[in-house]
Homo-oligomer: A and B are copies of this chain.
Amino acid sequence: MKITSAVVSVVLLATAQTAIGQLPAADVSRFTIKDFTFENGQTLPSAVVTYATRGRLNAAKDNAVLLPSPYAADLHAYDAFIGPGRTLDPNKHFLILTGMFGNGQSSSPSNTPAPHAGPDFPRVTIRDNVRATHQLVTEKLDITRLKAVVGSSMGAQQAYQWAVSYPDAMDSIVAICGNAKQYPFGVIRLEGSIAALKADSAWNNGRYTQPPVRGLRAFAMHYAAWSRSPTTFPRDMLDRMSDQQVDQFLRSLEAPALGMDANNVLSQAETWKRHDIGDTPSFNGDVEAALRSIKARVLLMPCRSDLYFPVADAEYEAKFLQHGELVVIESTAGHAAGGGADPQAVSFIDQKLRSMLE
């Protein structure tokens, strides 16, 4: 099975500089876990985590870097950051790219048989993803300790959770445009995307026979603004367009979501909404205690113009880290800067990754 471009990273919806497809398609591998029980108590008889690797694991098994996928993304999510000469160079590191539950390739509402299909798919947490990926890394790939877990957006949420759930499993984590907990503003923001999709009666509580196209369009339009920033677009960008041309431009922003499955994006949105490393067993909801427990070196890279993972939250989290460093990405691209939308930000992130990995 080849990676397709059907699953397009939502953070890149509004950019023409999408990195998707820059690298040659890699074979998607499938790691199957029998009787995987999710935190909500539901068990899938056969849970699949899709992954791809680039480069080779060295003899000492100490050059593995895990890159868990962000929201609505496939295994190409980090293409902009990977390549010869970059820090994430497959000639130096063994890169492990994993797909989240719900992304349409790993076990998802869209590809799981009854009785767990569609809206009956288990409610997934970031911890569920991390536990499954941990099994992949330790059991299948036979790696005890990762050099790093590097993630952007929901990938950063997974990196954070790795460091809390498996404190001895990595040297460092890098959280780009992501957080340790989804704070209330983000919950309300995410609920806007969920409400926009569900406003389409064709959604039918997830039991649709045809895609809820209006809802998916509204969902994409939600992200078209949220994933960027007020400083992203030139002030005169629409000046020489007729009303009809402006409308065509706006409609073009809706197109990427039309290839998405509604239950899949809703599943991942619920995962995002509920993320809190403080809910890891033994921390009793105390996010600060969970942050203090992290042994790995932590590099936090929020983006100045990110509308949903503000710098202030990263500053708050950094206060509780034993070995934390906070470096702000000064980009006008908004959240999408963490997904490769801004070439200067890509270089900046690459450079800071180097200081962690080399």
The reply to whether B214 and A198 contact each other, CB–CB distance below 8 Å, is yes
| A218–B215 alpha-carbon span in the complex (Å) | 10
A224: B residues at CB distance < 8 A: 188, 191-192
The reply to whether B199 and A235 contact each other, CB–CB distance below 8 Å, is no
A234: B residues at CB distance < 8 A: 184
| A238–B231 alpha-carbon span in the complex (Å) | 31
Return the contact of A307 from the options B230, B239, B316 (Cβ within 8 A).
B230
**Is A221 at the interface (CB under 8 A from chain B)?**
yes
Interface centre among A222, A246, A312 (most CB of B within 10 A): A222
The reply to whether B222 and A184 contact each other, CB–CB distance below 8 Å, is no
| Min CB–CB distance A291 → chain B (angstroms) | 12
Closest to A181 in B: B235
Closest to A240 in B: B285
- Provide the A267-288 mask, 1 if CB < 8 A to any CB of B, else 0: 0000000000000000001000
The reply to whether A310 and B230 contact each other, CB–CB distance below 8 Å, is yes
The reply to whether A233 and B185 contact each other, CB–CB distance below 8 Å, is yes
Give the secondary structure class of A's interface. helix
What's the number of copies of this chain in the assembled complex? Answer: 2
A263-321 at interface with B (beta carbon < 8 Å) = 285, 307-308, 310, 312-313, 316
The reply to whether B183 and A225 contact each other, CB–CB distance below 8 Å, is no
Closest to A185 in B: B230
A218: B residues at CB distance < 8 A: 192, 195-196, 198-199, 218
Contacts A191-B250, A200-B201, A201-B200 hold; do A185 and B221 have CB atoms under 8 A apart?
no
- Provide the A178-207 mask, 1 if CB < 8 A to any CB of B, else 0: 000101111111011001111111100000
A217: B residues at CB distance < 8 A: 195, 199
**Is A229 at the interface (CB under 8 A from chain B)?**
yes
The reply to whether A237 and B184 contact each other, CB–CB distance below 8 Å, is yes
Closest to A188 in B: B225
Closest to A197 in B: B199
The reply to whether B228 and A185 contact each other, CB–CB distance below 8 Å, is yes
A214: B residues at CB distance < 8 A: 198-201
The reply to whether B285 and A189 contact each other, CB–CB distance below 8 Å, is no
Return the contact of A192 from the options B186, B187, B225 (Cβ within 8 A).
B225
| Min CB–CB distance A219 → chain B (angstroms) | 8
Contacts A230-B310, A312-B230 hold; do A238 and B187 have CB atoms under 8 A apart?
yes
| A214–B187 alpha-carbon span in the complex (Å) | 19
A residues with a Cβ closer than 8 A to B are 14, 181, 183-189, 191-192, 195-202, 212, 214-215, 217-218, 221-222, 224-226, 228-235, 237-239, 246, 250, 253-254, 285, 307-308, 310, 312-313, 316
Given A192-B221, A196-B221, A199-B215, 7 more A-B residue pairs with CB atoms under 8 Å apart are A185-B230, A188-B233, A198-B214, A198-B218, A230-B307, A230-B313, A231-B312
A selection of 25 A-B contacts at a CB cut-off of 8 Å is A14-B188, A183-B233, A184-B233, A184-B235, A185-B230, A187-B250, A188-B224, A191-B221, A191-B224, A192-B192, A195-B218, A195-B222, A196-B221, A196-B222, A198-B218, A199-B199, A199-B214, A199-B217, A199-B218, A200-B200, A200-B201, A201-B201, A218-B218, A222-B222, A230-B313
